[in-house]
Amino acid sequence: MSGDRLASVAPGVLRGSSRVEQAGVREFLAFMVGSECYALPLSCVREIMRVPPIAEVPRAPADVLGIISVRGKVTTLLDLRKKLDVQGTPIGGRTRVLLVDQGEETMGLLCDRVLQVHRLGEDEVELASVLGNETSSYVMGIGRPGQRKAQGPKSGSKREARQAAANAHDILILLDPIALLKRQSHA
């Protein structure tokens, strides 16, 4: 699948090189943080999990919520709400951790709710540059899934409910996993 390739390509490629255009349709996982709807390339999401017990790490960077154990592996959990500077909801039944694999370290991203997988054609993706220079470096584009039929992971009424939720936020902010997980080095 074309999406598989996205995990290993540089953000520049995602922003519209010929290779991606040839690939045509790409898959994105949409999720909510606060009232905003975001999406990450599906290929970089290894797993969606419920929130395990979180151990606080004193003096960790502000966007680090703590550490969690993922099958025995100590994994850093990032707070997307802090990272993206949006007001989030408290951890509840719908809160999920996205395990994102990018570069040297697998990290967890806390999001308020996972929506669905969108397949976006190139005509459904606008580059981040449409937003001007003020956009954060994490945003690589805007997805408008309206033009194509969305493919939710589930079928039936549940799917329709999700569809409805997605339609309410029919603009997806496409995040760049590499920029998102990159740690500033203070060396």
Partner 1 sequence: MAQGKEGDKVREEFLAEAQELIETLSRDLLLLDESQRRGQRSAETLNDLFRGVHTLKGLSGMFGFERLGRLSHLLEDLLENLRLGRIDLSQPVLDVLFEGVEGFARLLAEAGETGEPTKVDIDGFADRMRTLARVKAPTHNVLEDFELDPNMLGVLTEYEEHRLRTSLEEGFSVFRLRVRLALDVIDTALDQLKERVKAIAEILTYLPSMDGTGGDAIEIEMLLATRKTESELRSALGRPDAALSLVLRRASGAPRTSIKAPSQAPQRRLKSSAPVPAASSALQRTAEAGPGSDHSLRSLTSVVRVDIRKLDNLMNVVGELGTVRAALGRFVEKLRTGVDQTLWNEAHRIQRAFSRHLSEVQEGVLDIRMVPLAQLFDKVAVIVRQVAREQKKEVRLLITGADTEVDKLIAEELADPMMHIVRNAIDHGVEIPDARTGVGKPNVATLAINAYQKGNHVVIELSDDGRGIDTALIREAAVRKGILTEHAASDLSRDELLGVVFLPGFSTATTVTELSGRGVGMDVVKTNITRLGGAVELDSEVGVGTKVTITLPITLAIISALLFEVRGRLLAIPLAVVQEALRMPRDAVRTVEGREVLTLRGTTLPLCRLGEHFGFSEPGEAAPRDLYVVVISVGNKRLGLCVDRLSGQQDIVIKGLGRSLSQVHGVSGATDLGDQRLVLVLDAASIIEEVLLGRSSPLALGGLQ
Interface contacts to partner 1, rule CB under 8 A: 8, 52-53, 55-64, 67-69, 71-76, 104-105, 107, 183-184, 186
What is the separation, in whole angstroms, between the first and last Cα of the chain? 39
Q: Which is nearer to partner 1, 83 or 119 (CB)?
A: 83
Q: How far is the CB of 162 from partner 1 (least distance, A)?
A: 28
Q: Which is nearer to partner 1, 70 or 165 (CB)?
A: 70
Q: How far is the CB of 156 from partner 1 (least distance, A)?
A: 32
Full 3-state SS string of 80-144: HHHHHCCCCCCCCCCCEEEEEEECCEEEEEEECEEEEEEEECHHHEEEHHHHCCCCCCCEEEEEC
Q: Which is nearer to partner 1, 21 or 56 (CB)?
A: 56
Q: Are 6 and 139 in contact (CB under 8 A)?
A: no
Q: How far is the CB of 62 from partner 1 (least distance, A)?
A: 5
